[in-house]
Structure 1
């Protein structure tokens, strides 16, 4: 039961973050559109991304809250946050012809790229923890085996 509560809390945190991000983008659509057009993407791609990203975020929110789709939604969250993180890393390392605005819609206005990067890494880590629990990968870790064996010994005594 503890495992399920932890999964609900972690996926709920991810869902809340994506819900907030989508609401911010959709509540001031003209501003979101202008910020997206200021990115390094071609204008037609930016136009599509302006509505596609919030749509994906809303889909992830719903999917994260439904236990049957939670694992797939967590993979989707991991991929989306990883893509955002890679974009930030590329932008801050002058890979593009110019540095786009930080457009920190989910953080405070004018937040530096480093704050966004740390935020993204936190949610990537949360997604990885959820996937580790969901997939039973923790059983492969030595520390888990030691703890698990101690519990088995104490339960059999």
Structure 2
């Protein structure tokens, strides 16, 4: 029961973040579109992403909240967060012909790329914690076995 409650809290937090991100984009579509067009993508791709990203975020919210789709949604949300983080790292390291605006996203217009990266890393960590609980990785990784500490050391001798 504790496992399920922890998973609900973590996946609920991730869902709230994605829900809010989608709501911000949908509520002010014209601003979201201008910000997307200011990125390094070709115009046609930016136009498509203006709708695809919020739609994907809404789908993730629904799937994260349903136990039957939670695992797949966790993988998808982790992938999206990692992709956003990689984009931030590339943008800040002059990989593109120009540095696109950070545009703040759900953190607001004043948020720097570093702030956004830290925010993403926080939610990546939450996703990894959820995976640890969901897949019982804490039972499979020896350093989580604090109860069996003596057994762990006696087996290695």
Q: Could you say which residue in structure 1 is the equivalent of 2:131?
A: 131
Q: Could you say which residue in structure 1 is the equivalent of 2:13?
A: 13
- Shift of residue 28 of structure 1? 0.4
Q: Distance in 1 between matches of 2:147 and 2:2?
A: 16
What secondary structure is seen at the aligned counterpart in 1 of 2:105?
coil
Structure 1 residues 28 and 100, CA, compared in 2 at 3 Å: closer, same or farther? same
Q: Could you say which residue in structure 1 is the equivalent of 2:84?
A: 84
Deviations 1:62-117 (A, max 9, x none): 00000110010000000000000000000000000000000112102221100000
In the TM superposition, structure 1's runs of 4+ consecutive aligned residues that sit over 4 Å from their partners are none
Count of aligned positions? 150
TM-align CA RMSD:
1.3
Moved more, 124-133 or 44-53: 124-133
- Per the normalisation by structure 1, the TM-score is 0.92
1:96-115 matches, within 5 Å, as: 96-115=96-115
Q: Distance in 2 between matches of 1:41 and 1:68?
A: 35
Q: Could you say which residue in structure 1 is the equivalent of 2:44?
A: 44
1:56-95 matches, within 5 Å, as: 56-95=56-95
Q: Distance in 2 between matches of 1:77 and 1:71?
A: 10
Q: Could you say which residue in structure 1 is the equivalent of 2:31?
A: 31
Deviations 1:96-139 (A, max 9, x none): 00000001121022211000000000001111111111111111
Q: Could you say which residue in structure 1 is the equivalent of 2:116?
A: 116
What secondary structure is seen at the aligned counterpart in 1 of 2:120?
helix
In the alignment, structure 2 segments of 5+ residues that lack a partner are 151-157
- Per the normalisation by structure 2, the TM-score is 0.92
Q: Distance in 2 between matches of 1:147 and 1:44?
A: 57
Q: Distance in 2 between matches of 1:26 and 1:142?
A: 45
Q: Distance in 2 between matches of 1:58 and 1:108?
A: 20
Q: Distance in 1 between matches of 2:53 and 2:147?
A: 42
